[in-house]
Structure 1
Amino acid sequence: MHYIDVILPIPIPKLFTYSITEAEVGFLKPGMRVSVPFGKSKIYTALVHSVHTNEPYAYEAKEIHQILDDKPVITQKQLEHWQWISEYYMCTLGDVMRAALPNAFILESETLITSNKDGVFEESDLEDDEFLIFEALQHQSSLKILDIISILDKKNVLPVIKRLLDKNVISVDEEIFEKYKPKLVRYVKLQSQFSSNQGLQDLLEELSRAPKQREVIMTLFSLSAQTKKPIKVSELTEKSKASSAIIKALIDKDILEEYFIQTDRIEYSGEENNPIKKLSEAQTIAFQEIKNSFETHNITLLHGVTSSGKTEIYVKLIEDILAQNKQVLYLLPEIALTTQLVNRLQDYFGEKVAVFHSKYSSQERVEVWNQVLNKSSKAQIILGARSSVLLPFQDLGLVIIDEEHESSYKQFDPAPRYHARDAAIVLAHLFKCKSLLGSATPSVESYHNTRINKYALVELTTRYNNVLMPDIELVDIKDKQKRKRMTGHFSDRLIEEMTETLKEGHQVILFQNRRGFSPIVECNTCGVSPQCPNCDVSLTYHQYKNQLRCHYCGYHAVMIKACEACGSLDLDNKGFGTQQVEDEVKELFPKCNVARMDLDTTRGKYGYEKVITALEQQEIDILVGTQMLTKGLDFRHVKLVGIMNADNMLNFPDFRAHERSFQLMVQVSGRAGRTEERGKVLIQTYNPFHRILQQVTTNSYLEMFEEQMDERRNFKYPPIYRLIKITLKHRDYNKVNMAADWYAKSLRLVFKTDVLGPEFPPVARIRNQFIKHIIVKIPPKQSVAKTKETIIKINNSFLAVKDFRAVRVILNVDSY
């Protein structure tokens, strides 16, 4: 007997074994998809992990349903990478498979109801709703559950189906259907009998009484002569100004023949191979240093100030790898960044650039997946957000991780909770290729790795064309408020600089790291503010929809007119978000074009693109936005950046708050003055003497790094210690408390003082579930693998306790 082990797209820790026939053994290979029965009636798409002859001893192996692929859809290297992610981030292979495979690859099963031909029953025994289904099956061969719901006009139809099954009226089958549909484009050509000159002449004479049809034939003939390419129906209708009905009439008359060609949903239409820019002297030195560092190190950190031209160095390195006919993975933290970078890379490399991120449809992702898998010339450079590390690379030659310090590289929910930067470095190691990390404000971990010689370090200290770094000025808003020099949330200094910048024809960016209009609506009489019914947070006021919204669970309600506690009409807004800044700017500068870039305005597939393009083409004078603006975007005409309030970032309860604030402010400052004229940055704050703000004004990364490292050593935080965060969730407050205490006591028996908690986070209830955190710190000399093994043993014991089974446990490795 022969068997296969498969990965199922569900969070079960072990692989499952199925039996296969002699004929299937020779055909099946690891990485192919098969559909398999699992449990009582479920059918899943599974991935073949291995083929063997070992019979499972705990259960009887079922047979597979069908083979879904002719060749593997994932590679052996990819399987190894998945295995590493699963072990390192303490999740199952099923979790990784679910995250990696495009949805269209994971087939769905649908219940089909058919008439039971062998069933013996009396029609008079059927109730009204049963008879309706029986009658429908006399006209249709099968019905889906959704069809039955619409026939009976009620949601719960399962009792009716069960009664029909008991009476032998129907039978139930599971039908597997493929979700991916190739895109077919419709083309037309003349039937062969009209292709000669004489045939065409006779046809035109025949159509002399149908001038519109004659016009279509004439247009088709001239288009064919011009392009020598197949003619699309859409192109023919546009050029001949004919309706699709006329073309259909010509097809019905057997004059035109229609046919379909499968095409990619994403096609590059521009001109390629613009000459790659010549590197400046500083860039050339950095480029050479990177090449030299790759001889001794596998990973190099490029620490280059904002606007130093890191992208041009990446382009040169990519050029070298493409000459070797290898693939390049170029990781970016934010979809907003891909929009701008795609155009730049396509100018150099044309259709060799493929893009992969979550705003792409399922079908588009399948096409990119297949191009990478087949090493197509259309996917030699893969540009994408964190999920692109899970693609099926064949021959990877270089991994570039831009803005490597970004927290967006970490996946928080659902599992696998991987960090794309670290996963990409491991992927590069599997392919024995080099990794390049780039940032103007590297993470403390990466910079620490250069200090201990784990990574090589290359520095680029000057901006491209020797443009000066922006002039950063701190504005004390406490003092401005005392002197009555504030207009709304704008100091007189900021208004003055904005007026001057706009007068000179430059653009302004205003940064406020909160979306919405105001974070809190408060009653001035009793001090109560509206709370989310599902989470322990105040609702945020969104003025454009006149709504109160929860940014954790999405709950929304109409803005209240009076206080729900005391009935007072005296309501006030506390704090401010991007919407309020936008409204105030419109009042202060009524003649300017103002736009906003946050999660609310960029929800659509092309949301980012529209805003970025409008700013590049100077259709926008002032752009208000959240941290989306900070990440490596290149705007030529922005001269002034205003940070509306620096304090809410600095006072965040997180050991990384100061590091993140420094990175965020330096990055957003870097958007100013990227051409010849020096940029200006104004930071509004209540505490201008804060160490981090002083370090931002002088751009002293090293000072910030040394200070943070001292703190991390003293308080045992990364990169000196490693962290594993354990989160427990349940709807019952007491149950979470009991479960968390049990878990923490078990951990303390082994790890002693290196266990923090259990503790409620600042927001202790989200989506009606109470949350408690426990943190395990791993000292430098302690084995990380052994620590994880111990945690998994404790976790299994925890889940074996009947009272705790309903409590959800989330294990998050490197939870920062």
Structure 2
Amino acid sequence: MYCQVVFPLPFRNSFTYSIPKELEEFVKIGVRVVTPFGKRILTGFVISITQETELKEKIKPIQDVLDEKPIFDEKELKFYEWISEYYISSLGEALRNAVPYGSDVETKRKIVSETNFCFDLYNKETNKKTLRAKLLLALSEKEVNNVSTLQKIVKKKNIYSLLRSLEKIGAISILDLVDEGKVRIKKAKFVELAKSIDEVYNTIPEIEKKSTKQLVILLELLNQKEAIQQSELIKKTNNTISSINALEKKGLVRVIEKEVDRVYHETYTEEKSTIQLTEKQKNVIDKVSQKIESNEFESFLLFGVTGSGKTQVYIELAKKVIEQGKEVIILVPEISLTPQITSRFFNYFNEIVTVLHSKMSLGERYDSWRGIINGKYKLVIGPRSALFAPFKNLGLIIVDEEHDQSYKQNEIVPKYHARDAAIMRAKFNNCPVLLGSATPSVESMFNAKSNKYTLLELPERIDNAILPQIKLIDLTIEKKKGKMESVFSHTLLEEIKQRLLKKENVIILQNRRGFATQVFCADCGEVVMCPNCSVSMVHHINKNILQCHYCNYIQPVPKACTTCGSIALKFFGTGTQRVEDELTYYFPEAKIERVDSDSTSKKGSLGEILNRFRKGEIQILVGTQMVSKGLDFGNVTLVGVISAETSLWIPDFRSDERTFQLLTQVAGRAGRSEKIGEVLIQTQNHKHFVLQKVLMNDYNGFYEKEILLREQNGYPPFTRIGIIEVKDENEEHARGAINNFYEFIKKYQNRLTITPPTEAIIYKIKGFYRWHILIKSNKKIDAGGKTLRTAIFESLIEFNQKSRFRDVKISVDIDPQSII
């Protein structure tokens, strides 16, 4: 028998392997197999099995099967094929999303160098700037290197021929070592009674005379209904392992090895509450339930104002799905949303709920994933990667805060959008998908108004709560009147003071991390920039460092300007650290906490902060957009926004939409119970139409204006767009590669709108120079985007065949969420 295998590598074809007799019963479509691949060992995915093959050459056998049960079936394979085709990646790269990081078996190439010999060779090089000289110097400084490390040091990818030549003269050895994966099944020792309870009781008098420590262990085991983990038993009885060993020798206990689940425990908890559904909530549940019961696909858009009870709708629908013996995926845009929503689902569904997100350890994620495959869990909650949970009997997918840009994968191929991919996965599984938001994306609302989605609405808050009063504070007027204290208007400070006196809670939004967003010289005007990225460094006062938020480069705060030597350095701009620092000055008695990616990097820290905020131990929460979504606390009566313009200034076609969504969402954190909420938004541009629509809580008015602008300028939802990005550490190579690619793709200009190559708005990130080509495809002519994808794919092939810059990194982003 033979199987077709694909690998998580950037080539599209599959490879044929023979299946040894002893492995035939284990090889199925959807399992991972360990195979030889050239001189390497790799893990691949089985996508088909045949009795025969037409191939004439010798076929290598697979070496091992990693999975007991398939990760995907033929139905799910169609979904991954769609991901691969739509987002222009290989099938293997798409399937990589289906497995947890660190569980693959593969060969890791190590370079072991004779350091003294390499240094002698380096000294003999006449030109120390050649690639060979740079490589020899790196090899002389460290005995064992990875190829990737050497590539970074010499800033060149193609070093293999040089390495082989050095191996021939004995300067290095190239070793291919098999890495068994970073994560495995965890096993632990358990202790149980080896004899009946009566037999153990008969031995107690004798044991008591000889060893009270052994007696304590026996008494504890008599109280246990099943085996207890050895480490827990030792801790409980304040004992040692020697006492257990002694009892094992007497035949009274046995020590066995069992698998242990590493379960992620959310630190945030809240009491289960009894909720009376409104008629509008029941109506939404009834409409979606019809499709759940009839196993039909349909896309629903749930447009519900903040505090309208969308989470309870999700819970009621999940109950119906699980009663049918099916499974549910609930996507949230960021980890910051998982503590509260996870706690509420745990309250209703207990041990059948699991989470999948990056704050979990590798072992916890691996065990969650295995629990899903083995049927232990029926409901999974998590950010975009949770979409690929290996369920076989999906009954519903929910995408909460569907408008959020973090559903878009920007880092690795394929650059999928989890919301759009969720719709396709639901379609392949014949189940409904529910997209929920108080501020739906322009594309989703357009689809609803075009009857592509079914629109469901929750226009009112539950529990007699009313939407908060929103006020704009014009900072230009406040400054003229002398009513400003640093970044705070007197109005905002006074309102914070009143809330603290009433023992009510406050949320303050400033969507920038750090203390000062720029450090510049007052004499020459020079701004301290990141050496690796074309962005300014941000001052973090708690560590007194400057940090780049793109590459994480860190440097000490300079004592003087590096350009002119002046000591007149100024700190400009406001981040969350500065807001927190100044609030502490104005309200020294208040307990203030900051919520951003710096303060919540420690596992479980966000849940602990939210617990204390709920209990009233924290009065003021200061944060980035992490505080704008999903938080539901009845005692929050004031929300303050330090600067409404932060996202309006971004030169991107979605900046107005993002600003409206962010401000409306954060406003929705106030007044979620019987206490009336107020929102104060500080701005220098109070007449801007976006801020006026936020002020009136007028989503429909905002949508109508935005959709006209999109149509006039040829942006989604009227066009489908793709961005070609070229980046390289060599500026000339990057420019040459993008110009080459433009020559290949511009032949499609009669069917597509193709902009000439331009420098990316942030021209340099992590040492790489970036160039973009923006391609638009009119949906009236190219509804599914096939023309767009075909043009890009064929141009990529031509580029890789003909361009002298084919080593330059080129990436494709279909339906990008940003064009910067």
Task: Give TM-score, length-normalised by structure 2.
Answer: 0.88
- The answer to whether the Cα contact below 8 Å between 2:266 and 2:343 also exists between their aligned partners in 1 is no
How far the C-alpha of 1:349 sits from its partner, in A, is 1.1
- The answer to whether the Cα contact below 8 Å between 1:441 and 1:667 also exists between their aligned partners in 2 is yes
Structure 1, unmatched stretches of 5+, are 114-125, 130-148
Please give the secondary structure, in 2, of the residue aligned with 1:459: strand
Change (3 A) 1:477 1:12: same
User: Which residue number in structure 1 is paired with residue 810 of structure 2?
Assistant: 809
User: Which residue number in structure 1 is paired with residue 506 of structure 2?
Assistant: 508
Find the aligned partners of 1:574 and 1:479 in 2 and give their Cα distance: 21
User: Which residue number in structure 1 is paired with residue 313 of structure 2?
Assistant: 313
Structure 2, unmatched stretches of 5+, are 118-137, 148-161
User: Which residue number in structure 1 is paired with residue 371 of structure 2?
Assistant: 371
Give 1:154's match in structure 2, choosing from 143, 147, 167.
Answer: 143
Change (3 A) 1:673 1:248: farther
- The answer to whether the Cα contact below 8 Å between 1:74 and 1:373 also exists between their aligned partners in 2 is no
User: Which residue number in structure 2 is paired with residue 489 of structure 1?
Assistant: 487
Find the aligned partners of 2:710 and 2:43 in 1 and give their Cα distance: 46
How far the C-alpha of 1:425 sits from its partner, in A, is 0.9
- The answer to whether the Cα contact below 8 Å between 1:25 and 1:51 also exists between their aligned partners in 2 is no
User: Which residue number in structure 2 is paired with residue 331 of structure 1?
Assistant: 331
Q: Deviations over 1:550-595 (max 9, x none)?
A: 1111111111111111111111111111111111111111111111
- The answer to whether the Cα contact below 8 Å between 1:299 and 1:455 also exists between their aligned partners in 2 is yes
Amino acid at match of 1:184: K
Q: Residues 769-784 of structure 1 correspond to what in structure 2 (within 5 A)?
A: 769-783=768-782, 784=785
User: Which residue number in structure 2 is paired with residue 387 of structure 1?
Assistant: 385
Change (3 A) 1:704 1:110: closer
Amino acid at match of 1:768: G
Q: Residues 253-652 of structure 1 correspond to what in structure 2 (within 5 A)?
A: 256-266=253-263, 277-291=275-289, 298-376=298-376, 379-652=377-650
User: Which residue number in structure 2 is paired with residue 231 of structure 1?
Assistant: 228
User: Which residue number in structure 2 is paired with residue 760 of structure 1?
Assistant: 759
Find the aligned partners of 1:800 and 1:269 in 2 and give their Cα distance: 51
Q: Deviations over 1:304-330 (max 9, x none)?
A: 100011111111111111111100111
Q: Percent identity?
A: 36
Find the aligned partners of 1:812 and 1:573 in 2 and give their Cα distance: 36
Find the aligned partners of 1:649 and 1:112 in 2 and give their Cα distance: 45
Please give the secondary structure, in 2, of the residue aligned with 1:762: strand
User: Which residue number in structure 2 is paired with residue 180 of structure 1?
Assistant: 183
- The answer to whether the Cα contact below 8 Å between 2:192 and 2:226 also exists between their aligned partners in 1 is no
- The answer to whether the Cα contact below 8 Å between 2:408 and 2:416 also exists between their aligned partners in 1 is yes
Amino acid at match of 2:687: F
Please give the secondary structure, in 2, of the residue aligned with 1:454: coil
Find the aligned partners of 2:305 and 2:245 in 1 and give their Cα distance: 61
Q: Deviations over 1:35-82 (max 9, x none)?
A: 11213x211011111123565769753332333344423333332211
User: Which residue number in structure 2 is paired with residue 137 of structure 1?
Assistant: none
How far the C-alpha of 1:468 sits from its partner, in A, is 1.3
How far the C-alpha of 1:428 sits from its partner, in A, is 0.7
Change (3 A) 1:349 1:268: farther
User: Which residue number in structure 2 is paired with residue 17 of structure 1?
Assistant: 16
Change (3 A) 1:758 1:175: closer
Give 1:241's match in structure 2, choosing from 238, 243, 254.
Answer: 238
Amino acid at match of 2:765: I
Please give the secondary structure, in 2, of the residue aligned with 1:453: coil
Please give the secondary structure, in 1, of the residue aligned with 2:430: coil
Change (3 A) 1:205 1:662: closer
Amino acid at match of 1:741: N
How far the C-alpha of 1:746 sits from its partner, in A, is 3.4
Mapped pair 1:199 → 2:198? no
How far the C-alpha of 1:342 sits from its partner, in A, is 1.2
Change (3 A) 1:178 1:559: closer
Change (3 A) 1:164 1:435: closer
Amino acid at match of 1:529: V
How far the C-alpha of 1:694 sits from its partner, in A, is 0.8
Find the aligned partners of 2:289 and 2:143 in 1 and give their Cα distance: 67
Find the aligned partners of 2:6 and 2:19 in 1 and give their Cα distance: 16
Please give the secondary structure, in 2, of the residue aligned with 1:466: coil
Bigger mean CA offset, 182-191 vs 782-791:
182-191
How far the C-alpha of 1:525 sits from its partner, in A, is 1.2
Give 2:96's match in structure 1, choosing from 98, 102, 107.
Answer: 98
Q: Residues 110-125 of structure 1 correspond to what in structure 2 (within 5 A)?
A: none
Change (3 A) 1:730 1:161: closer
Mapped pair 1:5 → 2:8? no
Find the aligned partners of 1:156 and 1:735 in 2 and give their Cα distance: 27
How far the C-alpha of 1:172 sits from its partner, in A, is 7.0
Please give the secondary structure, in 2, of the residue aligned with 1:653: coil
- The answer to whether the Cα contact below 8 Å between 1:331 and 1:383 also exists between their aligned partners in 2 is yes
- The answer to whether the Cα contact below 8 Å between 1:645 and 1:683 also exists between their aligned partners in 2 is yes
Task: Give TM-score, length-normalised by structure 1.
Answer: 0.88
Find the aligned partners of 1:436 and 1:227 in 2 and give their Cα distance: 45
- The answer to whether the Cα contact below 8 Å between 1:730 and 1:806 also exists between their aligned partners in 2 is no
Find the aligned partners of 2:508 and 2:404 in 1 and give their Cα distance: 20
- The answer to whether the Cα contact below 8 Å between 2:40 and 2:176 also exists between their aligned partners in 1 is no
Amino acid at match of 1:49: I
Q: Deviations over 1:429-484 (max 9, x none)?
A: 11100111110000011111111111111111111112110110100111111222
- The answer to whether the Cα contact below 8 Å between 1:100 and 1:391 also exists between their aligned partners in 2 is yes
Change (3 A) 1:321 1:272: farther
Q: Deviations over 1:701-757 (max 9, x none)?
A: 000000011001101100011111111112222332233233234333312471123
C-alpha RMSD of the superposition: 3.3
- The answer to whether the Cα contact below 8 Å between 1:220 and 1:231 also exists between their aligned partners in 2 is no
- The answer to whether the Cα contact below 8 Å between 1:55 and 1:61 also exists between their aligned partners in 2 is no
Q: Deviations over 1:64-122 (max 9, x none)?
A: 23333444233333322111100010111122233331123311336799xxxxxxxxx
How far the C-alpha of 1:20 sits from its partner, in A, is 3.4
Change (3 A) 1:782 1:500: same
Please give the secondary structure, in 2, of the residue aligned with 1:300: strand
Amino acid at match of 2:598: D
Find the aligned partners of 1:239 and 1:198 in 2 and give their Cα distance: 21
Mapped pair 1:72 → 2:75? no
How far the C-alpha of 1:232 sits from its partner, in A, is 3.2
Change (3 A) 1:154 1:504: same
Change (3 A) 1:757 1:189: same
Find the aligned partners of 1:46 and 1:656 in 2 and give their Cα distance: 39
Find the aligned partners of 2:790 and 2:687 in 1 and give their Cα distance: 46
Q: Deviations over 1:576-616 (max 9, x none)?
A: 11111111111111111111111111112213212222211
Bigger mean CA offset, 15-24 vs 104-113:
104-113
User: Which residue number in structure 1 is paired with residue 787 of structure 2?
Assistant: 786
- The answer to whether the Cα contact below 8 Å between 2:753 and 2:776 also exists between their aligned partners in 1 is yes
Find the aligned partners of 2:316 and 2:197 in 1 and give their Cα distance: 53
- The answer to whether the Cα contact below 8 Å between 1:10 and 1:98 also exists between their aligned partners in 2 is no
